Structure 1
Amino acid sequence: MDLSTPTQSNVEYMIESIKTKLKMASAAAMQSSAFSLDKYEDIRDIYEVVMDSDRLSISQVEALVSELGRLRK
């Protein structure tokens, strides 16, 4: 998927991928529609960290989820 263009569908794809990879217990609360295209680059940065990591510690997951929460509208 080409993530170089900031689109709402790319935001949705990245958020869903992050939720799946992190096996988030509160995934239902993390709706992709809650994220603005203004935060696209930040979301993409988090997406790349998550997708490039084979294994994340609990503290890393908590930090990433916290950062996602900060990026919500």
Structure 2
Amino acid sequence: MSLEVKSVENMEILLEELADKLQVVNRSIMDPEDYDLEKYDDLKFMYDIVAKKGKLSASETQAFIEELSLIRK
């Protein structure tokens, strides 16, 4: 399955992977129901950056989590 395709299933995968990579403790902020499919491109962009970067600093992690909160419903 290609993550380039906008779908609820792919959004769930992106959020799950981001939660793992960002080491999110409170997984409730990563609930797919809290995100619009219209924001899929934003999530995919963040996912690509995090995946490419690998290890993130604490401040980078916090910045990504704050950005996620801005695109939630």
TM exceeding 0.5: yes
Distance 2:22 2:4 in 1: 23
Moved over 6 A (4+): none
Tell me, which stretches of 5 or more residues in structure 2 are unaligned?
A: none
Residue ranges of structure 1 left out of the alignment (5+ in a row):
none
TM-score (normalised: structure 1): 0.91
When the two chains are superposed, the root-mean-square deviation of aligned CA atoms in Å is 1.1
Tell me which residue corresponds to 1:32: 32
Summarize deviations over 1:30-61 as a string: whole Å, max 9, x none. 21221111101100001111111221011100
Residues paired across the two proteins, number: 73
Q: TM-score, normalised by structure 2?
A: 0.91
**Cα distance in structure 2, aligned partners of 1:25 and 1:11:** 19
